[in-house]
Amino acid sequence: MADKNLTLAISSSPHLRSPDTVSNAMRDVLLALLPITLVSIYFFKLHAVFLILVCLAAAALTELLFRKVMNKPSSLDDGSALVTGLLVALCFGPSTAWWTAALCTFIGVGIAKELMGGLGWNRFNPALFGRVSVILLVPIFSYLSSIFVSMRPYLGEIDMVTQATPLALLKQGVGMPGLFDLFLAFPGGALAETSALALILGGIYLFYKEHITWEIPVSMIVAVFVVALIFGQNPLYHVLAGGVLLGAFFMATDWVTSPITSKGKLIFGAAIGILVIVFRVGLGPTEGTAFSILIMNAFVPYIDRVTKRPKFGEVAASQSASVSAGRPVSKTS
C-alpha cells in the first residue's frame, strides 16, 4: 500500500540520538587548546603563529590527500586532523623549522592515522607519533634542512635564554624559573610548555564537557609526582614542566588510543607517569612524555582485556551456585 506516495525513513532501532558527535567533541578539544595557544602566541609572536598555521595546513592537506588516494570520503569535518595539527605544533619549540613541523604532521596524520584505516583504527596517538618521528628519523630531517634552509622566513629574533626548556635548566641546575612562573606563564621550551595554568583550564573544560574522565590525568600526574619524589627530584617541576600536563589532559586521554574502562585508565595513566620519570632520569630531558604515552598506547588492547568487567548479573551468579537451565532472555514484559 504505497499510501499517498509516502516516503518513510527506515532504519533500525533506536530512533533517537543524543546530540553528541565526533565533530562536536573535536571542536571542544580545539576550544580547550585555545588558552595555551594564545599564551604561546603572546610569548613567541609570529614564530608561534607561523608554526601553528603550517601544522594545521599540513594536517588538513595530508588527510585530504590520503583519503583521495585511498578513495575514501573526506573526513575533514570530524575535526580530528586539525586537533592533530595543533597538537604537533604545540609540541615544538618556536625556532623549529617549518619543514620539520610539516613533515611531522604529515607522518602523524598520514601514516599513524590514515594508513591505519582512519580515525578510530589508529593504535598510536597521531600527534605524538609525528612528534617523535623527528627524533627517530634524524637523517631524513637533516637532509631536508639542507634543502629547505634557504626557504626559512625571517620572523624576528627569539630570546635565546627562553629557548632552554625548564627541564634542561633543572638538569643543569642554573637559572631555573620559579615554580610560580612555571605555573602561570614562562616562555621556555615548546609552545605548550608556556603555561601550566592554561593547560589545566583546557583540561577542566574537557572534563566539564564530559569528553575526558578524571582517571588518566589524575593517575598520571600522581605517578609523576610520587616517582619523582622517590628519585629525589623536585616533583612539582616534573609535573609542571616538559609536556606532562599537555600529555595528561590532551594526549593520554585521546579516546582512540587509551583504555576503555576506568580501571584500565588508572593503570594506563599510572604506567605513563612512572615511565616519564624513568625516561627523564635515565635518558635526559627529551620527549620523555611523548615516548611514555606512545609505549603505553601499544598496551591498550591488552589492558582492555585484562580489565574486562563482569556482565550484569555475573557477580551475583557466581555467588549463588545453584541455578537451573535458562530459557531465552525476554525483554520488557
Partner 1 sequence: MTVKTFSQGVFLPHYKEFSEKKSITTIPLPKEVVIPLHQHTGAPCRALVKPGDEVKAGQRIGESDAFVSAYVHASVDGKVTAVEPRPYFTGTNVESVVIEVDAKQGKPAWQERDTSKLSIDEIRAAIKDAGIVGMGGAAFPTHVKLSPPKPIDAFIVNACECEPFLTCDHRMMLEMTDMLLEGARLAQKAVSAPKLIFGVETNKPDAIQALNSKIAGEAGVELVALDVKYPQGSEKQLIKAVLDREVPPGKLPFDVGVVVQNVATCIAVYEACRYGKPSIERVLTVTGDGAAKPQNVLVKMGTPIGHIIEQCGGFKGEAGKVIMGGPMTGWAQSRLDTSIVKGSSGILLFSPAMVAETEHKACVRCGKCVDHCPMFLYPNYISTYAETGRFDLADEWGAMDCFECGVCVYVCPSNRPIVQFVREAKKQIAAARAARN
Contact residues toward partner 1 (CB under 8 A) are 1-3, 6-18, 20-22, 24-25, 75, 78, 117-121, 211, 213, 255-258, 260-261, 304, 308-317, 323-324, 326-333
Cα distances (Å, whole numbers) of residue 151 to 54, 91, 97, 103: 14, 22, 10, 15
Angle CA(194)–CA(249)–CA(105) in degrees, nearest 5?
70
Q: Quote the DSSP letter at residue 193.
A: G
Q: How far is the CB of 95 from partner 1 (least distance, A)?
A: 34
Residue 152: CB atoms within 10 A of its CB come to 11
CB of 99 to partner 1, least distance (A): 31
What whole-number distance in Å separates Cα of residue 127 and Cα of residue 115?
Answer: 14
Q: Cβ closer to partner 1: 151 or 327? A: 327
Q: How many CB atoms lie within 10 A of CB 16?
A: 5
Rounded Cα distance between 173 and 75, Å, is 47
For partner 1, the closer CB: 18 or 146:
18
Nearest approach, Cβ of residue 183 and partner 1 (Å): 30
Q: Which is nearer to partner 1, 196 or 266 (CB)?
A: 266
Which of 81, 239 has the CB closer to partner 1? 81
**DSSP one-letter code for 157:** -
**Nearest CA-CA partner of 289 in 276, 300, 298:** 276
The nearest distance, CB 221 to partner 1, in angstroms, is 20
At position 308, the amino acid (one-letter code) is K
Query: 146 is written with which cell numbers?
Result: 639542507
**Rounded (10°) CA dihedral 295, 297, 299, 302:** 180
Nearest CB to partner 1, comparing residues 152 and 308 = 308
Q: Whose Cβ is closer to partner 1: residue 3's or residue 157's?
A: 3
Closest approach, Cβ 12 to partner 1, in A, equals 4
Q: How far is the CB of 253 from partner 1 (least distance, A)?
A: 11
Let me know: does 269 contact 220? Beta carbons within 8 Å: yes
User: CB-wise, 128 or 134, nearer to partner 1?
Assistant: 128
- Closest CB 148 distance from partner 1, rounded Å: 35
